[in-house]
Structure 1
Amino acid sequence: MALTVDDVLRRLRDQAIERVDLGLCDLSGRWHHLTVAAELIQPSSFSEGVSVAALPAAGFDGESLAAGDLQEAAVVLDAASAWRDPFLPTAPLSLFGWMRCRSDGHPGCARSLASRATEALASSGLADTALFQVAPHLLLRGAGERSAGRIPLGGHGQAAALPERSLAFRSELLSLLGTPAPLQAAELLPAADGLMRLGYTAHQLAACCGLSAALVAAERPVEAAGCLPVSQSLRKARLPLFYGEGTRADLSQTARWYIGGLLLHAPALLALTGTGASIDGGWGGAGSAAPLRRAYAPGVGSTVVGLPVARPTPASQRLAFVAIEAAANPYVSWSALLLAGLDGIRRQIDPGGIQALEPSHPPAEAQPDPFPPLTTHPLAALEALATDHAFLLEGDVFSSAWIAVWIERQRRRLPLAPPQGEPFLSV
């Protein structure tokens, strides 16, 4: 259960905790950890923030955290993110936070985007809750080894027979996380926190064992291991909005419009859902099954959006954005997906007819997709984002300045991208 501000302050007092770990996520999706004295954590730390001037200088990078002038910045803490990091015994309590620059009030760091996207959803009147979920498997390997295969972390494939090393690793990982199913469907911010926490813990545990670990999708081949589809659904007053009984695939009109927004903005979204790791081979890596069709279909195949294969219930109806890399920053990419979907609902974007839903039709029967195929090269994605980002400015979630910084940083990163087919974690 998520803690409140009073819960956190009470725990600090009752357990006589002296040190607290603060976690901040930079634009590239890496955590910055800073251990501070517990006495710095006050009720105002969760609203106004802790002044950076009062914190140790080490661990802060103004450019990567997009916080502007650090002397005017504050770290705003999130009580609901409280957890015990098993790899930091000197800090019994860890808190995630985000950077806010006092001069302009605009929170530019990655984690703040998810909070602002949630606020934009609530104020839109279209829905009040957006649920996100990923279902990753783990890939493990030792020095000089090829991957030993996927390790399921819960749900689909849980009963699969595993090598002894893999089984022991999974058991220890889930024990450290304190849950048999680490990634349940949740609202944007806690869902992204959960993925980051899982990736961090898997990486740290693997390093202790002399291994490398990667989070990958269960459905895709190992050579496309960098992909990790994210499922999404909307609710209003606790009622699911994506279910339409008796319709094709039981999709509501709201869900179809949401899909329309994802497909319309897919070229720009790739600049936020990819890492630029495949400058030579295009998005997804050479030889991968990277999605190319701006369409939607059951399962996770060659389309940008996937739907459940089995007939869903109202509560389980969801859709998955497939064109997203496991190493993508979830705070950035998932916020962008939500805004694209909401834009589709506002503008009532038609995602296409039945042919787009059933790509298995023979070519002679299938009609053209309503959107042209994706150009998957990272540079093309950045150019698309430069011209198509008005939907990201809704609700003041992103800003034009933030997007310009992102594009420039990604352009600089491309020549330094990691080798293709290397999805292994570095957190």
Structure 2
Amino acid sequence: MHLGCKTPQDVMAAISEHGIEMVDIKFTDLFGQWQHFSIPVEHFDAESAFEEGLGFDGSSIRGFKTIESSDMNLLADPTTALIDTMCAVPTLSLVCNVYEPITNEPFSRDPRYVAQRAVEYMKSTGIADTVYMGPEAEFFIFDEVYYHTNQFSAGYGVDSGEGIWNSGAPGLGHQIGYKGGYFPVAPYDTLQDLRTEMVREMLNAGIEVEVHHHEVATAGQCEIDMRFAPLVQMADQVQLYKYIVKNVAKRHGKTATFMPKPLFQDNGSGMHTHQSLWKNGEPLFAGDGYAGLSQLALWYIGGLLKHINSLLAFAAPTTNSYRRLVPGYEAPVVIAYSARNRSAACRIPVYSQSPKAKRIEFRCPDPAANPYLAFAAMLMAGLDGIKNQIDPGDPAEIDLFEEDALKRVPMVKGSLGEVLTELEKDHEFLLEGGVFTEDLIETYISHKRVADVDAVRLRPHPHEFVMYYGI
């Protein structure tokens, strides 16, 4: 339950009012994983939590510190206070920012701080005072999963009663075919009640939810759409959204994953991100240009498209992301913009002609992204487009996956290694206003090359045994 706190005093009053027994302290590592520790309420001190800082070992957190300078502090944001209904005892949850202990300066690699800096930079330009983000995070719910890898073997498997591969076994039928999962009613959609429970938990936690439904793929692909919110608030909500989805699934003996492409030859999970700029309560993306866009919005698109490959290092940050970003699966691999055309990287929804509804949908991100870094990077690219009046070119009004069209349009890079190289070459726009730092970008790239790219590149793939064992 979201508590509506604004001050530390509000938090302490809520602890007393709701009989809280534990206080859970949460923060996000450089690569998007929520981290936490819990304090018995008897030892929870408001001065430490909100003013002095709660200490932890930064050398044990990915992308933070080395062992010789490991001490770090967390300061809690009272506005994030909520009762964590995933816990067995009454537990109050607080999201924190990370600080240096000696200088009391914000830690430059703290993803939440990067997002806050991006918003402050936007305000300093005078272009806008508010940026709204509306991500559509898709996920799979499986009945079971297994996976392993070592020096001499590797393998994985997932299963779902909805999966079309189970149609050959005795049962009740009504399996969902490949790419056949968009909007079927029960008994095909077996997850209605489970998604509804997730939605009710989200609403109780203060997340505004607009709709939920089955998604295109077979075997439990789902989507729950949050109402748009300011950038930092939405990044906080994405972390909470994923936490609720995974834990409600576990509550029912199922497993949920935000892995972009768990199934071969079926649709993957994206996180299409709707975004718009506002100033003094007025929308800035509505105008009399293409699809009802303003010139400012077109320049914003120009920035996204110019920097798209370096953006993907944050927005599609896993090797598995590039199993999804391939033609033929509604994946936005074409560097173009269009109204209604879902194969373009940028789409302009035209469901409503209200100026307040006018927005840009950037379709490349996936839910493996760290939302703080991904949203901040998208905003910085859009602002660069506005500042430099970057022309996005002509809109694409054709089927971009037709063979002739594919020969005429540029495509995004096809691997994590390639987009990390693009980020090395193209990141000056991220450094504006001290939003990102060279240190953060270098640390991010170095870690991703070793822990992600090389970890997959150097291992034999199970399918290579099918192809090559007998040669």
CA contact (8 A) 1:305 1:319 kept: yes
Q: CA deviation at 1:255?
A: 0.3
Q: CA deviation at 1:73?
A: 1.8
CA contact (8 A) 1:140 1:147 kept: no
- Structure 2 distance, partners of 1:299, 1:185, is 20
Q: Say yes or no: does 1:359 pair with 2:359.
A: no
Matches within 5 A, 1:242-391: 242-244=285-287, 246-278=288-320, 284=325, 288-299=329-340, 301-353=342-394, 356-360=395-399, 372-391=410-429
- Structure 2 distance, partners of 1:398, 1:240, is 27
CA contact (8 A) 2:289 2:295 kept: no
Partner of 2:432: 394
- State the secondary structure of the residue aligned to 2:299: helix
Change (3 A) 1:224 1:100: farther
Q: CA deviation at 1:234?
A: 0.5
| CA deviation string 1:209-245 (max 9, x = no partner) | 221224599xxx982323221100000001000000x
Q: CA deviation at 1:407?
A: 0.1
CA contact (8 A) 2:301 2:392 kept: yes
Change (3 A) 1:415 1:241: same
CA contact (8 A) 2:21 2:40 kept: yes
CA contact (8 A) 1:140 1:214 kept: yes
Change (3 A) 1:283 1:211: closer
- Structure 2 distance, partners of 1:286, 1:228, is 17
Q: Say yes or no: does 1:181 pair with 2:209.
A: yes
Q: CA deviation at 1:4?
A: 0.4
CA contact (8 A) 1:272 1:336 kept: yes
- Structure 1 distance, partners of 2:25, 2:327, is 38
Q: Say yes or no: does 1:17 pair with 2:56.
A: no
- State the secondary structure of the residue aligned to 2:159: coil
TM-score of the pair, normalised by structure 1: 0.83
CA contact (8 A) 1:132 1:188 kept: yes
Change (3 A) 1:17 1:84: closer
- Structure 1 distance, partners of 2:327, 2:455, is 17
- State the secondary structure of the residue aligned to 1:94: strand
Change (3 A) 1:277 1:366: closer
Q: Say yes or no: does 1:34 pair with 2:37.
A: yes
Structure 1, unpaired ranges of 5+: 150-156, 421-427
- Structure 1 distance, partners of 2:196, 2:231, is 27
- Structure 2 distance, partners of 1:261, 1:389, is 12
Instruction: Letter of the 1:4 partner, please give it.
Output: K
Partner of 1:192: 235
Q: Say yes or no: does 1:101 pair with 2:140.
A: no
Change (3 A) 1:195 1:162: farther
Quote the RMSD (CA, aligned, Å). 3.3
TM-score of the pair, normalised by structure 2: 0.75
| CA deviation string 1:159-189 (max 9, x = no partner) | 8624474122122222322357272110011
Partner of 2:81: 82
Matches within 5 A, 1:124-203: 124-143=125-144, 144-146=158-160, 148=162, 161-163=185-187, 165-179=190-204, 181=209, 183-203=226-246
- Structure 1 distance, partners of 2:272, 2:122, is 21
Instruction: Letter of the 1:100 partner, please give it.
Output: Y
Change (3 A) 1:71 1:140: closer
Partner of 1:116: 117
Q: Which has the larger radius of gyration?
A: 2
- State the secondary structure of the residue aligned to 2:440: helix
- Structure 2 distance, partners of 1:128, 1:222, is 43
Q: CA deviation at 1:72?
A: 4.1
Instruction: Letter of the 1:3 partner, please give it.
Output: C
Instruction: Letter of the 2:127 partner, please give it.
Output: L
